[in-house]
A and B are shown apart, each in its own frame.
Chain A
Amino acid sequence: AQTVTQSQPEMSVQEAETVTLSCTYDTSENNYYLFWYKQPPSRQMILVIRQEAYKQQNATENRFSVNFQKAAKSFSLKISDSQLGDTAMYFCAFMADYGGSQGNLIFGKGTKLSVKP
C-alpha cells in the first residue's frame, strides 16, 4: 500500500520570502506521479504542480518548483516570492501508473501555509 506523509501541519512565511513544504511517500511501484494541490478557504482543489517519476528534471511552474528525490522518496514544494494569495492548505498526493491504467490519488494530511504581510 502506498502512503504519503506531510510532517509539517502548519507553516508561516513572510511575504516575498521563500518557503519549502515537505512530503515523503512510500511505494514499491517504479512508475508513478506526484502532485501538489492547493486548497484555499474557498475549498476548491487546485493543482499546483505535477511530477512524473520517470522524469529526472524537477518540475517548475512559475514561482513553484519541486525537489524530487526518487531514491529518498521525497517530494518537497518550494514557493518563491511568497504572496498573500498563497495562503492555503497544501496537499501532497501520489498516484501509481500501471501502464495502461492508473491508480487512485493518495493524499497526505496537508500543510497549512500562512503568508504574513
Chain B
Amino acid sequence: NAGVTQTPKFRILKIGQSMTLQCTQDMNHNYMYWYRQDPGMGLKLIYYSVGAGITDKGEVPNGYNVSRSTTEDFPLRLELAAPSQTSVYFCASSYYRRIAGLKTYEQYFGPGTRLTVT
C-alpha cells in the first residue's frame, strides 16, 4: 500500500492564480480530510468527507473547494490564491471500526504540500 499520497510537494503561486492539490489513498478509507498548518501552529481542518459524494466544511474553509467523486481521491481546489493561503497542506484518511465490541480508530497523513503565494 502507498498509503496517502499528495501532489505536488511544493508549489509557488502568484496572487489570483488557481490550482488543485491532489490527494489519493489506497486503503479504502471512508473518511478523508484536508488540513493546513501555518508556521508554529497545529493543524486546522479545511474540509472533510465521510464518503464518496459527501463533503463538509471544517474550521477554515474560506477560499477552498473540494469534491469527492471516488473513495480514493479528494482534491482540494484554490480558486483565487491569496498570500494568507501560504501554508503547508496535509491530506489524511481514516478508518473507524468496531471489532468484537472494541472500537479502534487511526488517521493516516500524507507527506504534505508546501504552498507559497506571492
In the complex with contacts A47-B106, A52-B103, A105-B45 CB distance below 8 A: yes
The chain B residue sitting closest to A107, CB to CB, is: B42
Interface size class of A (residues with CB under 8 A): 20 to 34
Question: Contact flags (1/0) for A27-47 with B, using CB distance below 8 Å?
Answer: 000000101000000111101
Do residues B42 and A43 form an inter-chain contact, with CB atoms below 8 A?
no
For the complex, give the distance between the alpha carbons of A102 and B109 in Å: 17
Do residues B41 and A109 form an inter-chain contact, with CB atoms below 8 A?
yes
For the complex, give the distance between the alpha carbons of A35 and B105 in Å: 10
Q: Secondary structure of the A side of the interface?
A: strand
Do residues A107 and B88 form an inter-chain contact, with CB atoms below 8 A?
no
Do residues A43 and B112 form an inter-chain contact, with CB atoms below 8 A?
yes
Q: Secondary structure of the B side of the interface?
A: strand
Do residues B94 and A45 form an inter-chain contact, with CB atoms below 8 A?
no
Residues of A within 8 A of B107 (CB): 35, 47, 105
Do residues B103 and A110 form an inter-chain contact, with CB atoms below 8 A?
no
B50 is an interface residue with CB less than 8 A from chain A: yes
B61 is an interface residue with CB less than 8 A from chain A: no
Do residues B109 and A104 form an inter-chain contact, with CB atoms below 8 A?
no
B75 is an interface residue with CB less than 8 A from chain A: no
A50 is an interface residue with CB less than 8 A from chain B: yes
In the complex with contacts A91-B42, A102-B31, A102-B96, A33-B109 CB distance below 8 A: no
Query: Can you list 25 contacts pairing A with B, beta carbon distance less than 8 Å?
Result: A33-B105, A35-B107, A42-B111, A43-B88, A43-B111, A43-B112, A43-B114, A45-B90, A45-B92, A45-B112, A47-B106, A50-B105, A91-B42, A91-B43, A95-B105, A101-B50, A102-B94, A104-B48, A105-B33, A105-B43, A105-B45, A107-B42, A107-B43, A110-B40, A110-B41
